[in-house]
């Protein structure tokens, strides 16, 4: 974020209900039917993706799979097939790369493109977005939604407004009008708790938030208040970073209710460590620095870091993060907990475990678990401690 941002032409492309749409594309008998991709509906996992037919019943990503089954028992439940989705993602990114060398994938099914200065070659940015959507429909046989805007924040927000198969443009100078009537939840990082706090201040819309002096927001939310002020004015000067090596990989969770439950915090941290480790292994990285993030009930946020040998082992990542956690004095309830791994290096199987048999064995077990997860879903296997503590008490 910064003052006087440069004017760019950014397109955000986001595939519609990607996993579920791929399954409906490949299995014509599923078209028009509610499809839910994720864990076994008899288990304790979550929804990875839901078709728009399933969403009409209230099903959405990250919902407990059991709840999804109760809301939409007639749905077709399918396991996650990451190998297939990765192949399709490659086809999508190949199409996008033809329109700009400044292509930044941010997940398997969405990416930013910077098409600044390409009008003489490709036409206006809106026409480029239309062409991309048409190509994806014709060649990959999937629909995408796209947002066109002067920066990444607005482009991503625009792509989400008219799903599925949507196309929204925010022209330079129209930022305030575009944001004015949108609810504050549309801002990055504003969840239910922050929205509740803003509404307690009489702030319902982004336009209302934009009229609040930045000093008032900083006093209430700390440094986060400055970011809220910038976003409310549609300002975001981050560049599109083409195929840059990730600086870190992480996970975090904001609790529905602030908590002091140490066991809940430990379990959450363990699950995050396993998830981050799986992502590191999938991308071929290991990291030297583990960072713990805690946000308390008053929005005060702290981070604590520990640097050691490069690792992609979920148990080791958890041990480092939990060691940091135990040394934090927690006077207030915790609103958010997260961890990240940074100082990334390329890590191949076996290279990180040459001098110890235990890490090598864990590496083999982890990679076997990764293969199971790709076939049956992210929650097909998880640490036994999570299962034990998830039983009714």
Cα–Cα separations (whole angstroms), residue 11 to 149, 185, 268? 7, 22, 35
User: Which residues touch 363 (CB under 8 Å, ≥6 apart)?
Assistant: 312, 313, 349, 350, 352, 353
Q: How many whole angstroms separate alpha carbon 180 and alpha carbon 84?
A: 40
Q: How far is CA 366 from the centre of its chain?
A: 23
Partners of 294 in the β-ladder: 302, 337
Handedness of CA 107, 110, 112, 115 (dihedral sign): positive
SS3 102: coil
Q: How many whole angstroms separate alpha carbon 307 and alpha carbon 317?
A: 11
Q: How many whole angstroms separate alpha carbon 54 and alpha carbon 71?
A: 9
Say if CB 53 and CB 94 are below 8 A apart: no
Q: What is the Cα gyration radius of the chain?
A: 22
Q: How many whole angstroms separate alpha carbon 344 and alpha carbon 324?
A: 20
Q: How many whole angstroms separate alpha carbon 297 and alpha carbon 259?
A: 9
Burial class of residue 380, CB neighbours in 10 A (0-12, 13-18, 19+): middle
SS3 304: strand
Which residues form the catalytic set?
110
Q: How many whole angstroms separate alpha carbon 37 and alpha carbon 22?
A: 10
């Amino acid at each position: 974020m910064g003052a006087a941002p440069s004017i760019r032409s950014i397109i955000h492309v986001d595939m519609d209900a990607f996993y579920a749409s791929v399954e409906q594309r490949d299995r014509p008998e599923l078209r028009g039917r509610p499809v839910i991709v994720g864990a076994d509906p008899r288990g304790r996992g979550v929804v990875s993706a839901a078709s728009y037919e399933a969403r009409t019943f209230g099903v959405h990503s990250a919902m407990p799979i059991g709840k999804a089954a109760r809301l939409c028992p007639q749905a077709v439940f399918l396991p996650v097939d990451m190998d297939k989705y990765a192949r399709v993602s490659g086809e999508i990114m190949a199409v996008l790369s033809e329109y700009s060398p400044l292509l930044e994938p941010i997940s398997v099914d969405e990416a930013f493109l910077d098409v600044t200065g390409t009008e003489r070659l490709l036409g206006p940015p809106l026409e480029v977005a239309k062409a991309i959507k048409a190509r994806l429909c014709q060649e990959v046989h999937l629909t995408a939604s796209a947002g066109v805007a002067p920066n990444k924040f607005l482009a991503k927000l625009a792509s989400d407004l008219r799903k599925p198969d949507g196309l929204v443009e925010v022209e330079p100078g129209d930022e305030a009008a575009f944001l004015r009537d949108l609810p504050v939840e549309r801002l990055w990082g504003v969840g239910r708790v922050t929205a509740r706090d803003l509404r307690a201040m009489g702030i319902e819309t982004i336009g209302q938030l934009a009229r609040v002096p930045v000093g008032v927001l900083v006093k209430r939310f700390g440094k986060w208040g400055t970011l809220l002020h910038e976003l409310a004015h549609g300002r975001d000067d981050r560049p599109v970073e083409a195929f840059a090596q990730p600086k870190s990989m992480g996970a975090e969770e904001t609790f529905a209710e602030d908590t002091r439950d140490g066991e809940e915090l430990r379990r959450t941290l363990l699950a995050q460590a396993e998830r981050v480790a799986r992502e590191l292994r999938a991308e071929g990285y290991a990291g030297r620095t583990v960072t713990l993030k805690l946000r308390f009930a008053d929005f005060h946020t702290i981070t604590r870091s520990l640097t050691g040998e490069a690792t992609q082992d979920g148990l080791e990542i958890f041990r480092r993060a939990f060691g940091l956690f135990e040394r934090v004095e927690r006077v207030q309830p915790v609103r958010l907990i997260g961890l990240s791994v940074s100082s990334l290096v390329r890590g191949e199987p076996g290279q990180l475990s040459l001098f110890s048999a235990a890490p090598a064995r864990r590496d083999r077990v982890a990679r076997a678990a990764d293969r199971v997860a790709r076939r049956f879903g992210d929650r097909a296997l998880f640490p036994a401690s999570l299962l034990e503590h998830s039983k009714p008490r």
